[in-house]
Amino acid sequence: MPPRKAPVPQPEMISSIGPPEAEAAARLTIDLSALQANWRLLGQQALPVDCAAVVKADGYGCGIEQVSAALTKAGCKTFFVADLSEARRVRAISPEAVIYVLDGVLPGSGPAFAEVYARPVLGSLVELAEWDRFVASENWRGGAAIHVDTGMNRLGMSAEEVIALAPRMQKENHGFTLLMSHLACAETPDHPLNDRQIRLFREIRVQFRGLPASLANSSGIFLGDSAHCDLVRPGAALYGVNPTPGRANPMQPVVNLEGRIIQVRSIAKGGTVGYGAAWAAKRPSRIAMVAVGYADGYPRAASAANGSPGGQAIVAGQRCPLAGRISMDLLAIDVTDVPESAVHRGDFATLIGGDLGVDEVAAFAGTIGYEVLTRLGHRYHRVYNGG
C-alpha cells in the first residue's frame, strides 16, 4: 500500500465551486449521497465480489476529487482512471486506495507510476516489456494489471499472448495484480458477443489461478454471476446512467442542471428563432432564453427545427420543448403553454433533473448519457450535496 498521507477534506467541506450563484448562468447540483447509494447498490448486485469505481473523465464530469472522496467514505478501495494526471488527483484524496490507469504505460512514464503509487493496465507486449525494464531497474513492486482483448478489439493483448504469460505466475514476484478484459455489448444482455467474451475470459482465467480477475462494467454487473469474477468496476451507472437500457433505471439520479432564464420574449406566428431560422412558431408564442449552450456541454444536436422536435426542459414544473438551434451560450425554450405569471427573468429552467433524466437528454441529441455527463461545463455554479 502507498504511504499514509494527511487526511483530505471531505466533499461536504467543499459545498460549492465555480462562479458565485448570483453571477452564474446555470447551477449544477451533484448529489454525492445518491452516488454513494448507487455504488452500494451495484456492489450488492455483485456480492460477494468486490466493487471498484471508475472515476475517469473528471469523475464523469462530476468532479474527480468530490466523487473519489465520497466513494472512499462509502468504502470503495479500488479506483480506475484513464491517465496518470487523474491518478494523482485520486491519490491526493484517497491515500490508501488501489488505483489502476486504464490507458497503460506511455514511453518513459514508469517513474511517475512509482511516484503516484498507481498500477498500469498493460495492453500490449510492448508495454509489458517497457514496464518490466522499469520494474527491474528500480526494483519496483507496485504491480500491474494485464488487459486481455476478448472481443472489443480496442485495447488489450490477444488471448494467445496472455496465455503465453501464464507460466510467469510460478515466479514469486511475477508482478501481476489483476487480469482484466472489457465487455463490448453488456448493455444488450442477449447479444451473442457477451457469452463469447465471458467464456473466453473464463478459459484464460483458469491459466492464472490465484490472480484476481475483472470483467464486468456497469451493465456487465447485470449479466449475472458469470461476469462478476473477483472485482466489478462500474462507471456510468454510479452517476445515474441506466445500466439496463429498455428497463426501469435502478440507479438514483446524481446530477441536476438548471439554466437561468435571462429573457422572456414574445414572437408572432411564423417568427423564427435562432441561427438559420430553423424553427418557426406555429402560433403566437413566448420564448424563454436560457444562458446555457454547447460551450457549457449542452448538446447542440438536441436543437429543435421544423420537423425535428429536439430536446425539452422543465419550466415552472411543466415540460416545454426547445425552440431553434442551440448556440454557444444560449438555448431557447417554448414556454407558451406555461402561465405567463409563472415564468420570469432570473428563474431557473431544469435541463437535466426531476423526471428529465440524463439518458433522456442524451436521446434528444442522439447520443448517450456518458457523453452528456462528461461534457458538463465549468461555467456552472456547482453545488455538492451529501456525501
Cα–Cα distance, 356 to 51 (Å, whole number): 28
Q: Which pLDDT score is estimated for 91?
A: 98
Tell me whether strands 119-122 and 144-147 are parallel, antiparallel or unpaired.
parallel
Q: Which tens digit of pLDDT belongs to each residue from 116-131? A: 999 999 999 999 999 9
Confidence category of residue 14, pLDDT binned at 50, 70, 90: low
Contact 11, 69 (CB under 8 A): yes
Cα–Cα distance, 44 to 60 (Å, whole number): 22
End-to-end CA distance of the chain: 25
* DSSP letter (8 states) at residue 11: G
Q: What value does the mean pLDDT take over residues 19-23?
A: 89
| Lowest-confidence region among 9-13, 33-37, 93-97, 174-178 | 9-13
Contact 149, 156 (CB under 8 A): yes
Confidence category of residue 10, pLDDT binned at 50, 70, 90: very low
Higher pLDDT, 1 or 387: 387
Long-range contacts for 161-166 (Cβ within 8 Å, ≥24 apart)?
A: 161/125, 162/204, 162/207, 163/204, 163/207, 165/128, 166/207, 166/208
Higher pLDDT, 13 or 44: 44
Contact 68, 59 (CB under 8 A): yes
Per the prediction, the chain carries an average pLDDT of 94
Cα 350 from chain centroid (whole Å): 21
Peptide bond into 243 cis (omega under 30): no
Cα–Cα distance, 93 to 69 (Å, whole number): 6
Q: Which tens digit of pLDDT belongs to each residue from 79-103? A: 999 999 999 999 999 999 999 999 9
Neighbours of 41 (CB within 10 A): 18
Backbone angles phi, psi at 373, to 5 degrees: -65, -50
Cα–Cα distance, 252 to 116 (Å, whole number): 32
Cα–Cα distance, 233 to 216 (Å, whole number): 6
Q: Which pLDDT score is estimated for 84?
A: 98
pLDDT at 180 over 80: yes
Q: Which pLDDT score is estimated for 3?
A: 45
Torsion sign across C-alpha atoms 70, 377, 245, 309: positive
Q: Which pLDDT score is estimated for 2?
A: 52
Q: Which pLDDT score is estimated for 11?
A: 40
Walk me through the domains of the chain, giving residue ranges and CATH numbers.
Answer: 32-239 (3.20.20.10), 255-356 (2.40.37.10)
Neighbours of 29 (CB within 10 A): 18
Active site residues: 56, 275
Q: Which pLDDT score is estimated for 7?
A: 42
Q: Which pLDDT score is estimated for 385?
A: 94
Cα–Cα distance, 245 to 241 (Å, whole number): 9
pLDDT at 217 over 70: yes
Confidence category of residue 235, pLDDT binned at 50, 70, 90: very high
Q: Which tens digit of pLDDT belongs to each residue from 280-328? A: 999 999 999 999 999 999 999 999 998 888 999 999 999 999 999 999 9
Confidence category of residue 148, pLDDT binned at 50, 70, 90: very high
Q: Which tens digit of pLDDT belongs to each residue from 323-342? A: 999 999 999 999 999 999 99
pLDDT at 375 over 90: yes
Residues of the chain with pLDDT > 90: what percent? 90
